[in-house]
Every structure is written in C-alpha cells, then in structure tokens.
Amino acid sequence: MRQLILDTETTGLEPNLGHRIIEIAAVEVVNRRPTGRTVHFYINPERDIDGGATDVHGLTWEMLRDKPRFSDVANEFVEFARGAQWIIHNAPFDVAFIDEELKRLDLPSATALASEVIDTLALARDAFPGKKNSLDALCERFGVANAHRTLHGALLDAQLLSEVYLAMTRGQESLTIDIAVPSLPTEGAFAGLDLASVAIRVLAPSPEELDAHRAYLLELDRLCKGACLWLALMPELNEA
C-alpha cells in the first residue's frame, strides 16, 4: 500500500476568505516503510500572511515573494499524490486548502486524487478520548523525538506524523497475542489423520527478511522503552 503523510502551512485559517497555502509537503510510505521520497514546496501566496499564522510557522510574505506560485508546482504535486492514501493530522483543514488551490486551476479535488483520506486527529481522539492529541502530544506519547520542532513546518511535521502514525497503528502496544488453536476434524477426509506421517516444509527466512524483522523489533523496543519481550528472547538480534 502506498501512503502519503501530508501537511500544509497557510496564510490564515479560512480558505473561503482568500487565505492560501504557503508550504506543502508529503512523505511517502509504502507497505508501512518510509521510502525516502518526498515532495516539498515553499509557495508565494500572492497576498499578506496573518500575524497569528506567522507566529505559528515563522514564514512571512517577504520570505516567500521569490518562491513559485501554487500553479507552478501543482502538476508535480498532483502526480506525486495521485492514487495514494493520504494521512493528515486534522485533515479537514488541510484538505479544504488543497481543494481550494486545485479548484483555481481546474484540477481534480483531493477526494478524486487520493484513494482515501485518513485523519490522524480523529484516530487519536478515538484512541485517547479526553487527552491532548496535538502532534506534539502524540510525539511525546509514542516516544517520537521532536525537540527540534520549535515552529511548525510542513516537511518536518509530515516526517514526525509519519513516525506517529506508524506507531499509533502498529497494534503492538500489548505484548500478548491470543490465538485460537483449531481442533482436529472428527469427520470427513482428514478425520483421524496421523500428523506424524505428514512432511512439514520449513521455509527459512532470507537475510533481507531477518534484517527487516530485526529493525522492526528494535523500533518496537525503542517505543516500549526497552521492554520488548521478543527482543529479550532473541539476544542474537542485538548482536547482528
């Protein structure tokens, strides 16, 4: 599955009042692994930026006057984003701005481009009702280092959100797994089968699969603050 973790910064809060995107970024994740591919643009909004917005992201129109307009980067963004599942924190806000920019250029809307849009703020509120669920709060909750985030930035925030999302959806917060063991059939073609006579084919993992497994357990151990039972039972992975 191809996913994009997206974020924007804007001139203000209301796209229907003429506010514009001034920074947009997306981080690619394929089959739950970051690929290293990103798209990132600073954009000339062709208008002033609200002081309150500048306080959040630190960007001013003077800093952006020589940057491309959204129309200059729209096709590159669309081609990168098309067909992927979009992961956004407080998705309605960003999607409204993206849709407004795309509409100005007669380009497909976000819902037409994305296979699905997932709002991590809604996921977090369902998982942690009554708690703070800002990106900073989720970074702290899942052990994602964010000390360098003194101001909002689309690329930095997308990178942090990718780590948070993968941690939040891993489903490994509990180290116990309940597996129902099926009973042997008492009727039919397999009734009374002598399992001792069955040749069991054992497939050994490849070096690449072992490396991927080790990386997964090390990351789980980091999130569990050194309490990963599987890693403790397989010390050879630490020595690899």
* Residues annotated as catalytic (active site), given as ranges: 152
Residue 193 amino acid letter:
L
Q: Are 146 and 136 in contact (CB under 8 A)?
A: yes
- 183 vs 159: CA distance, rounded Å: 46
- 39 vs 34: CA distance, rounded Å: 13
Contact partners, residue 162, CB within 8 Å, separation at least 6: 5, 27, 29, 34, 87
Q: Is 213 left (phi over 0), alpha (psi -120 to 50) or beta?
A: alpha
How many C-beta atoms surround the C-beta of residue 152 within 10 A?
18
Beta-bridge partners for 9? 23
Q: Parallel, antiparallel, or unpaired: how do β-strands 85-88 and 33-42 relate? A: unpaired
Contact partners, residue 34, CB within 8 Å, separation at least 6: 27, 28, 162
How many C-beta atoms surround the C-beta of residue 109 within 10 A?
13
- 143 vs 120: CA distance, rounded Å: 17
